Amino acid sequence: MVKVLLVSFFNDEAYGVRAIHSNLEENGIDAYMLFFKLIDSYRERSKGESNKDRFTADDLDNATTREVDLLVSHIKQNKYDVVGFSLVSQHFTLYKRIYSKLKNISDLSIVIGGWQASLNPNDCIGYADFLCIGEGEDPMFELVRKLGNKEPVENIDNFWVNTKIHGAGSCKEAAAIDNHVTKNSVRPLPRDLSSFPGPLFDHKYSYVVEDNIIKNYDPYFENTRYGTFIGRGCPYKCTYCSNSYMANEVYPRQWTKVRHRSITHLQKELLTVKERLKNVKNINFYDEVFTPKIEWIKEFFSWYKDVIDIPFYVFFYPGTCDDEKARVLADNGLAGTWLGVQSGSERVRKEVFKRSTRNEVIFKQARIFHKYGISVRYDFIFDNPFETFEESLESIYMILELPQPLSLNMFSLKYFPNTEITDMAINAGFVSAVDLDDNQEKDHETYMIRQDKGSLDDRFIGYLVFYISNILTNAIITQHQKEGIFKLIDDYKKSKDIEIIKNIVKPYLSKSNGGLSRKPEPTYCLIV
């Protein structure tokens, strides 16, 4: 029998890994999961530490040599036949460290899946036997089954096969892309998501590498948060999002058609969560956009309130939640939502991001949430070269007008592989393809204020955003503070003197970084 290990980096929820694992187990495959470093446990340990109170981008590369060796030793000692790594772009550097110690193990098939494999396969194929493109439940089962039966595996849909490596029977050297790769087509998306089993929660299936030790347990038993999905796919093609590539290139005419699970299938999963994961205090529905119709919402969430009764969170696109939906959701336990605004400028949203929602729709949506006491975290993208100074200020003005309390996610515009915004930035001369190749694995921080680079206006916006994010610690900006911000803007426009804002934000800035910067807020990198 083939023995399989699935590895997740910095993500103990890892729904994709858990979904593939449970599908393999249900089909008789001996499968295990290994969670390499834990963001949640890191946060818990660091609470109260004045110099380390949040997980930052720097920590994505902080695996010790011993932790890497523990993973490699575990693979060798347990004699796995297949090891699958779920990667986003931020993890690729770390993965290559691990791969350098795995590539000479004979009779080991290495698979890369996740967003990195789908978005950037040409960079990945030299570091694996197989790349899984797109959704992986059925492809992975077919691959493992055929490996176990010693059947040919070069022509399995959804896989790129490194024939140079695979043909040698071990992971020895990187392949020559043009001559040694079989690129198979992608099978249609599975329409019936309810045909797949829900995740398994059992210590016997799971290992954790953390703090220079390896333990045999499932970290979900310690988590206060549980993450799941109502459906898959996204109806939108925002230029900065990896979904644009999935919709245009990987799954044309399929990805934008959201596939929902049946109510009974989701109920079964959450009943297991309620029974098994006693520490869970909130449930996040991580759908790209929350899209179920009102009838589905009423039926499922009335049951949810009666049986599960745990506060939950969802993602909304502006204008997709009317008064009735908000009322029903709030009545049944909706504690909060994320709302992707991205820019206060209608031009930027429409022409740059392909998000055509008008400002009046955003404010109407915000008022509906406020009416029913639903907390909102608004996403805004700053540090955007396609946006003028005045358009950046439009975002500031919108933030100050939104109903309070509120919280913010403020991001720099990121250029992830093969997204439309990346092509636009290259064509406009804002970045080069070479620079992106050099920096894609390192640039995984949330919004960093631009005090020491960019134009004077860029630096001013950076300081101002930083200031606003800090005075919002209580989710409230007072009228006095608003008036102060408006005056700062007016004074800066008149004088173009960066010292005006520098003096305001000095109390908030980190002395360890020369008084010029701070660590970014943690981010959940779903779009990579």
User: What does the DSSP assignment read for 160-211?
Assistant: EEEHHHHHHTB--S---TTTSEEEPPPPPPPS-GGGSPPPP--GGGEEEEET
Report the distance separating Cα 377 and Cα 400, nearest Å. 14
Give pLDDT, residue 225: 93
Is residue 72 within 8 Å of residue 101, measured between CB atoms?
yes
Portions of the chain given CATH number 3.40.50.280: 3-203
pLDDT higher than 70, residue 463: yes
Structure token pair of residue 343: 């820019």
Give pLDDT, residue 179: 59
Report the distance separating Cα 393 and Cα 399, nearest Å. 10
pLDDT higher than 90, residue 366: yes
Portions of the chain given CATH number 3.80.30.20: 224-513
Q: Calculate mean pLDDT across residues 467-479.
A: 84
| 3-state DSSP of 59-70 | HHHCCCHHHHHH
Q: Which fold has domain 224-513?
A: pyruvate-formate lyase- activating enzyme (3.80.30)
pLDDT higher than 50, residue 490: yes
What's the distance, CA 528 to chain centroid? Answer: 7
pLDDT higher than 90, residue 45: no
Q: How confident is the model at residue 432 (pLDDT cuts 50, 70, 90)?
A: confident
Is residue 225 within 8 Å of residue 522, measured between CB atoms?
no
Could you tell me what percent of the chain has a pLDDT over 70? 85
Q: Calculate mean pLDDT across residues 221-233.
A: 94
Q: Which fold has domain 3-203?
A: Rossmann fold (3.40.50)
Output the CA–CA distances (angstroms, integers) from residue 214 to 55, 111, 380, 436, in the order listed.
Answer: 21, 22, 39, 35
Q: How confident is the model at residue 18 (pLDDT cuts 50, 70, 90)?
A: very high
Q: How confident is the model at residue 527 (pLDDT cuts 50, 70, 90)?
A: very low
Report the distance separating Cα 20 and Cα 42, nearest Å. 26
Give pLDDT, residue 90: 82
Q: Calculate mean pLDDT across residues 64-82.
A: 96
User: Which residues on neighbouring strands pair with residue 209, listed in sequence order?
Assistant: 36, 214
Report the distance separating Cα 497 and Cα 396, nearest Å. 19
CA angle 297, 298, 300 (to 5 degrees): 65
Report the distance separating Cα 224 and Cα 75, nearest Å. 30
Q: Calculate mean pLDDT across residues 72-100.
A: 94
Give pLDDT, residue 512: 40
Is residue 488 within 8 Å of residue 468, measured between CB atoms?
no
Q: Are strands 407-412 and 375-382 parallel, antiparallel or unpaired?
A: parallel
Could you tell me what percent of the chain has a pLDDT over 90? 71
Report the candidate in 415, 355, 360, 363 with the shortest Cα–Cα distance to residue 384. 415
pLDDT higher than 70, residue 177: no
User: Which residues on neighbouring strands pair with residue 259, listed in sequence order?
Assistant: 232
Give pLDDT, residue 452: 53
Q: Are strands 334-342 and 312-316 parallel, antiparallel or unpaired?
A: parallel
Give pLDDT, residue 518: 40
Structure token pair of residue 227: 């993450």
pLDDT, greater one: 335 or 452: 335
Is residue 171 within 8 Å of residue 105, measured between CB atoms?
yes
pLDDT higher than 80, residue 158: yes
Q: How confident is the model at residue 474 (pLDDT cuts 50, 70, 90)?
A: confident
Secondary structure class of 30 (helix, strand, coil) = strand
Q: Residue 191 burial by CB count (10 A; 0-12/13-18/19+): exposed, middle or buried?
A: exposed
pLDDT tens digits, one per residue of 184-217: 999 999 999 999 999 999 999 999 999 999 999 9
What's the distance, CA 366 to chain centroid? Answer: 24
Structure token pair of residue 107: 């009779």
pLDDT higher than 90, residue 506: no
Which residues lie below 8 Å from residue 298, measured CB to CB, with a gap of 6+? 328
Amino acid at 397: Y
| 3-state DSSP of 59-115 | HHHCCCHHHHHHHHHHHHHHCCCEEEEECCHHHHHHHHHHHHHHCCCECCEEEEECH
Give pLDDT, residue 59: 53
Is residue 404 within 8 Å of residue 476, measured between CB atoms?
yes
40-48 contact pairs (CB < 8 A, 24+): 40/12, 40/219, 40/222, 40/223, 40/224, 40/225, 41/12, 41/210, 41/219, 41/222, 43/522
Report the candidate in 486, 353, 367 with the shortest Cα–Cα distance to residue 411. 353
| Cα-Cα end-to-end distance for the chain | 34
Give pLDDT, residue 492: 94
Give pLDDT, residue 43: 43
Q: Calculate mean pLDDT across residues 405-425.
A: 88
Report the distance separating Cα 22 and Cα 28, nearest Å. 10
Average pLDDT of every residue of the chain = 86
pLDDT tens digits, one per residue of 273-288: 999 999 999 999 999 9
HSE toward the beta carbon, residue 17, CA cutoff 13 A? 29
Q: Calculate mean pLDDT across residues 379-404.
A: 95
Give pLDDT, residue 340: 95
Is residue 75 within 8 Å of residue 111, measured between CB atoms?
no
pLDDT higher than 50, residue 521: no
Report the distance separating Cα 503 and Cα 161, nearest Å. 57
pLDDT tens digits, one per residue of 303-350: 999 999 999 999 999 999 999 999 999 999 999 999 999 999 999 999
Is residue 374 within 8 Å of residue 414, measured between CB atoms?
no
Angle between helices 389-401 and 456-471 (to 10 degrees): 10
